[in-house]
Amino acid sequence: MNLIDSNILIYSSLEHYKYLRDLVISDISYFSEISKLEVLCYHRITDPEIEYFIRVFSIAHVFQLSAELIKLPTPIRRKHNLSLAGSITCSTCLLFNLKVVTRNIKYFKKITGLKTENPTI
């Protein structure tokens, strides 16, 4: 199963990367609630982009933040100097045995036991 990083979702909204759309809404693909926030709160987001992302989130599997999940990012963030969103993404993947699907492989490669994939190469 996959956890789709925010950057893959954003790329999937672009015509050049429309091949990512099937992956984004696949039955084996999930999102973190944090990715949902990152995408929808972007200050330069357009109305058509908002509509696209809302449609995706209406059919996608979204991991809600839980008390269990909130405890996990702290040591990852401290040890690897990741962003809060990146730390939550890593924690979600490790907790639920998911592969993070991202364009930013280098950012996540330093996390032991984390599986990664870049579908854009």
Distance, CA of 25 to CA of 15 (rounded, Å): 16
Print pLDDT tens along the chain (121 aa). Answer: 999 999 999 999 999 999 999 999 999 999 999 899 999 999 999 999 999 999 999 999 998 888 888 778 778 888 888 888 898 899 999 999 999 999 999 999 889 999 999 999 7
Determine contact, residues 16/36, Cβ cutoff 8 Å.
Answer: no
* Beta bridge partners of residue 110, listed in sequence order: none
Boundaries of domain holding 61: 2-117
Domains held by the chain: number: 1
Tokens 């925010």 appear where?
A: 6
CATH number of the CATH domain containing 73: 3.40.50.1010
Tokens (6 digits) for 38: 């990152």
